[in-house]
Structure 1
Amino acid sequence: MNNDGQKKILVAFDGSPSSRNALRQAITLGERRRRPVEVLAVVPDYEGDLELVGVSNLKETLRGPTDRLAAQAREVADSLSAEVDIRVEHGEAYEKIIDAAKTDDCDLIVMGRRGLRRMERMLMGSVTARVISHSGTNVLVIPRDADIGWENICVATDGSQYSEAALELAIEYARELDGRITIVAAVDSHPEYYGGATDFVDKMGEKATANLRDAAGKVKAAGVSVQTLLLRGEPAQELTDMAKREGCGIIFAGSRGRSGIKKLLMGSVTEKIIGMACCPVFVAKSRD
């Protein structure tokens, strides 16, 4: 198969069970979409005093983890009889991942998510958080034991250009992979949040309903089956509970991105969804 000129899927790999599963899922997606898969493992630079630990040959010392990561990635690919490009680099992980996605013409970065306990699931890994914040490339975050399901695709919408980008990509994937779309809007109606201002909550509900109607119209126009749901409560919690209840195989959500120090402070609805969801989360970047 000739992949010249095709966009690639980049998999961030560190040898962990979550990254192994991410690679398996990426390979399957690449086969379905006829996209080449590239694997990048990053070994942190050693900053200690090599003389103090009795290391005389730096090149030979660093080759150990490099060869080990490459072999682990190759093992996963071989188990699926897949051809993938594998490379290992040294440096800051998130920077190398972002640079590779840009220079290698990748339109999707796939990363695994660790954590089984509730507190671990609520926290996104620092590398993943930085990649999402700093990169202009779409990012797919996959929990350790999750498979990507395309039959029922959930899309979170708030009417912004960022959720519009998520919807456009969800439609593209649904049409190509024969899925249907569930569009969800959530209104945080907790009385303590709005100080009992019921009129404001009602207006928020009306706006969310209008956003759902507009989004559903676009999906229908693309020839994709669609349903809409309006949820009330804490958005991330309500959406992830709904996704589990409705059997959604993937959630599409937009990401605003940040500048300066805000890029290091995660906490938006999308980031909470990533930490709480049992299914993969596709973080779409605005195309403008």
Structure 2
Amino acid sequence: MAAPLERLERIMLATDGTRHSRAAEAAAAWLAKQSGAGMSALQAVIGDTGYPLMVPGDEHAAVKDARDHMAELCRRMAGEGIQCQPLVSPAANPFQVIVERAGETGADLIIMGRRDRSDLSRLMMGDNTAKVIGHAPCPVMVVPKSASVPWHGIVVATDGSEFSERAVATAGWFAKELKIPLRVLAVVTGREGDPDAAGARRVADAAKTALADVDTLADCAVERGRPDQVIVSYANRHGADLIVVGSHGRTGLARLMVGSVSERVVGHFDGAVLVVR
């Protein structure tokens, strides 16, 4: 289980070199400038068959293209005063490479893009992303191509679970570091085992207490409905650019899976989503 974010010294940017990763690259650069963090930029290269490219001298065209993209990306970062380490790795399972490199480089945060999907498949975040979140040694931020920086507001959703408490602590760190408004949201679902209205208010108040040292805390709200829909709607109404959620709710799931609420929030929100476990 990853710890809540309490510092940001190293960012791992996982990019595929396509337009789907441009917003993730921009978010990583902006966050690195705001925090003073260093960065490792990784591109995992997969062959057409799904197997890693193992060519002597790494001269395969796909590997060369990835190296060229990483070199150009890190040159741009250097031009903005950001220390950037380019990494290119042939990979059969991209999530394994991302998780391993994050551990090797001591990353405090992984940032990765999100591909467009149909309305149906957007209900799920994608196997690779889910596995990165399930195995990563740190929080994972998923950034769709529609997202932009700078951020103007953060929403953290909580149900009082251990994962949510970690999400609240991480959101508080971001709000203090970036000096932007933070809103806490607890949702009444009406499902057995979930907090009722009074319980949700207690959860929201507990988060408020935990965030007592956050000067930009703007609201601790309780709303009713299906959690993923309420969270995204609330964030949109309040102009939030970042949603922070725990990877699992009170029901919990196996380590390879991510809770359906966080999955759906990642799939449907047009801004960045930070998943903490």
Normalized against structure 1, the TM-score is what? 0.82
Pick closer, same or farther for the CA change 1:218–1:171 going to 2, 3 Å. Answer: same
Q: Does 1:64 align with 2:61?
A: yes
Instruction: Determine the C-alpha separation between the residues in 1 that align with 2:19 and 2:137.
Output: 26
Pick closer, same or farther for the CA change 1:38–1:242 going to 2, 3 Å. Answer: same
Q: Which amino acid aligns with 1:144?
A: K
Tell whether the 8 Å contact from 1:166 to 1:252 is kept in structure 2 after alignment. Answer: yes
**SS of aligned partner of 2:60:** helix
- 1:62-118 per-residue CA deviation (whole Å, 9 max, x = no partner) reads 531111012223334444524421111112211111011111110100010111542
**SS of aligned partner of 2:17:** coil
Percent pairwise identity? 28
Tell whether the 8 Å contact from 2:242 to 2:271 is kept in structure 1 after alignment. Answer: yes
2:164 is aligned to: 163
1:89 is aligned to: 89
Pick closer, same or farther for the CA change 1:227–1:73 going to 2, 3 Å. Answer: same
Tell whether the 8 Å contact from 1:149 to 1:248 is kept in structure 2 after alignment. Answer: no
Alpha-carbon distance, 1:21 to partner:
2.0
Q: How many residues align?
A: 262
Alpha-carbon distance, 1:33 to partner:
0.3
Counterpart selection for 2:211 from 219, 226, 239: 219
**SS of aligned partner of 1:24:** helix
- Bigger mean CA offset, 58-67 vs 213-222: 58-67
2:116 is aligned to: 115
Tell whether the 8 Å contact from 1:148 to 1:280 is kept in structure 2 after alignment. Answer: no
Instruction: Determine the C-alpha separation between the residues in 1 that align with 2:50 and 2:224.
Output: 52
- Bigger mean CA offset, 143-152 vs 107-116: 143-152
Instruction: Determine the C-alpha separation between the residues in 2 that align with 1:30 and 1:164.
Output: 25
Tell whether the 8 Å contact from 1:149 to 1:250 is kept in structure 2 after alignment. Answer: no
The alignment yields a C-alpha RMSD, in angstroms, of 2.7
**SS of aligned partner of 1:21:** helix
- 1:203-227 per-residue CA deviation (whole Å, 9 max, x = no partner) reads 6111100111111122233433330
**SS of aligned partner of 1:137:** coil
- Bigger mean CA offset, 23-32 vs 265-274: 265-274
1:32 is aligned to: 34
Tell whether the 8 Å contact from 1:236 to 1:270 is kept in structure 2 after alignment. Answer: yes
Alpha-carbon distance, 1:15 to partner:
1.3
For 1:5-20, what aligned pairs fall within 5 Å after superposition? Answer: 7-20=9-22
Tell whether the 8 Å contact from 1:165 to 1:284 is kept in structure 2 after alignment. Answer: yes
Q: Does 1:284 align with 2:276?
A: yes
Pick closer, same or farther for the CA change 1:249–1:65 going to 2, 3 Å. Answer: same
Tell whether the 8 Å contact from 1:113 to 1:143 is kept in structure 2 after alignment. Answer: yes
**Structure 2 unaligned regions, length at least 5:** 1-6
Alpha-carbon distance, 1:256 to partner:
3.5
Normalized against structure 2, the TM-score is what? 0.85
- Bigger mean CA offset, 208-217 vs 82-91: 82-91
Tell whether the 8 Å contact from 1:216 to 1:226 is kept in structure 2 after alignment. Answer: no
Instruction: Determine the C-alpha separation between the residues in 2 that align with 1:242 and 1:223.
Output: 21
- Bigger mean CA offset, 59-68 vs 40-49: 40-49
1:42 is aligned to: 44
1:208 is aligned to: 200
Instruction: Determine the C-alpha separation between the residues in 2 that align with 1:139 and 1:62.
Output: 31
2:176 is aligned to: 175
- Bigger mean CA offset, 148-157 vs 239-248: 148-157
**SS of aligned partner of 2:64:** helix
Instruction: Determine the C-alpha separation between the residues in 2 that align with 1:73 and 1:58.
Output: 19
2:137 is aligned to: 136
1:255 is aligned to: 247
Instruction: Determine the C-alpha separation between the residues in 1 that align with 2:144 and 2:273.
Output: 9
